Amino acid sequence: MTGSINVALLGSKFMGRAHSNAWLKVGKFFDVDPVPVMHTVVARNTAELDQFARRWGWQHSSTDWQSVVASGDIDLVDIGTPNDVHAEQAIAALEAGRHVACEKPLAGTLADAEAMAAAAESSAAKTFVWFNYRRVPAVALAQRLVAAGALGRIYHVRAAYLQSWGGPDTPLLWRFQGDIAGSGAHGDLNAHIIDAVRFVTGEEIVTVEGAMEHTFIEERELLEGSAGGEIAGSGAATAGSKGRSTVDDAVMFLARTSGGALASFEATRLATGYHNANRFEIHGEKGALRFDFERMNELGFYNLDSDDAVQGWTTIDVTRSGAGHPYVEAWWPDSHGLGYEHSFINQASDILNIVGGKEPLVAMPDFADALKTQRVLHAAVESARNHAPVEVADLSSLRRDVT
């Protein structure tokens, strides 16, 4: 296949910038076919939209996502909007025959996620979900090591995503509103580490044994003019005017994997001292792995086959060309570290490879795959609220109007 693909982006905030940068840069560092054309960006704020389009290289802008999705000029719809509209936008795009790339979590509720997966199954178009941390070289290398048997049977998994931006001074952004976000730290952060554990270990999470969710800050100052914004500092709060936060600030749960491993998951926006500590440890009969995104260019590896005299944790620099580290050949010389934005560019290259009929460098989650993560999210909420274990495969009788 040789040609181009017209992309429409829905959303112009945090993820809008990350995705725009990916489409803008992917052809500069990867040999992609088709080549992305940044055709149209869609957002609600007209005053900001034209400036956004000019800054990031979009040819057109619109406030009418329905007409853009239906347009015959568009080949791929990239959804970077709040969680509550993912389903409506994705299903409309699939029914119009467009490929769809959607931000995580797949949706705000399990019902919406199931509807999206069903629409994808009925469509000839391809679907993708932006679990971008799969495309961090250290995480992709960890998956390859596990798949090659470096850890043997897996015994324990510990995963945590620790942030601290959601303190008392953070206003009532949409991420703190349950009817928009679906959940708080759980869907936003646990979604990433659930996907990472599934991806790296190759095992599914089959049972949530117990869970806790808690909202520490029940009221937050309202943003002036609207409830928009993505992260702390993205909007001005109205002094003295407050609204109720209807999502969790922190969620923890225990689980079992399909291979029999015990796993723990923790997500919080109130981990003082951590800004983006997305981390996991995996322990097996032959060795162990550990990763922390705050040191994203390193992977820790413990190999029991090493000589006793030198046995210990090895820190692998995953930016060395010629070492087989995923994606790094496209980037800089050895130890010229990669950053957050590179994971999105790496994913854009794999999306284009799949559309062009080639294999991705790293396995790509589609809607069916992301639904498995959504089911684990849902099971954890049910476990927390019912104070009981939940079998992930047995969710048919449970509520679907929560994440």
pLDDT digits (tens, 9 = 90+) for 64-101: 999 999 999 999 999 999 999 999 999 999 999 999 99
Q: How confident is the model at residue 224 (pLDDT cuts 50, 70, 90)?
A: confident
Q: What's the whole-model pTM score?
A: 0.94
Residue 395 is predicted with a pLDDT of 81
Average pLDDT, the chain: 94
pLDDT digits (tens, 9 = 90+) for 180-222: 999 999 999 999 999 999 999 999 999 999 999 999 999 999 9
- Torsion angle defined by CA atoms of residues 203, 208, 210 and 215, in that order, rounded to the nearest 10 degrees: 100
Residue 229 is predicted with a pLDDT of 53
Residue 149 is predicted with a pLDDT of 98
Q: How confident is the model at residue 398 (pLDDT cuts 50, 70, 90)?
A: very low
> Is the distance from CB of 362 to CB of 350 less than 8 angstroms?
yes
Residue 397 is predicted with a pLDDT of 42
Q: How far is CA 253 from CA 64, 188, 335, 387, in A?
A: 40, 15, 36, 11
Tell me the DSSP string of 248-288. Answer: -SEEEEEEEETTS-EEEEEEES--TT-SSEEEEEEEESSEE
- Whether 266 shows a pLDDT value over 90: the answer reads yes
pLDDT digits (tens, 9 = 90+) for 274-321: 999 999 999 999 999 999 999 999 999 999 999 999 899 999 999 998
Rounded CA gap, 377 and 205, in Å?
Answer: 10
- Whether 234 shows a pLDDT value over 80: the answer reads no
Q: How confident is the model at residue 31 (pLDDT cuts 50, 70, 90)?
A: very high
Q: Map tokens 């030198």 to a residue.
A: 310
Residue 260 is predicted with a pLDDT of 98
**Position 176: which residue type?**
F
Q: How many residues belong to the chain? A: 403
Residue 251 is predicted with a pLDDT of 98
Residue 105: is the preceding peptide bond cis (ω within 30°)? yes
What are the chain's domains?
Answer: 4-132 (3.40.50.720), 133-355 (3.30.360.10)
Percent of the chain with pLDDT over 70: 94
Residues 6+ apart with CB under 8 A from 120: 90, 94, 100, 127, 366, 367, 368
Residue 237 token pair:
């709060």
Collapsing DSSP to helix, strand or coil, 210 comes out as: strand
Mean pLDDT of 114-121: 98
Tell me the DSSP string of 29-98. Answer: HS--SSEEEEEEEE-S-HHHHHHHHHHHT-SEEES-HHHHHH-TT-SEEEE-S-GGGHHHHHHHHHHTT-
Residue 321 is predicted with a pLDDT of 87
- Other beta carbons less than 10 A from residue 67's beta carbon: 11
Mean pLDDT of 119-137: 98
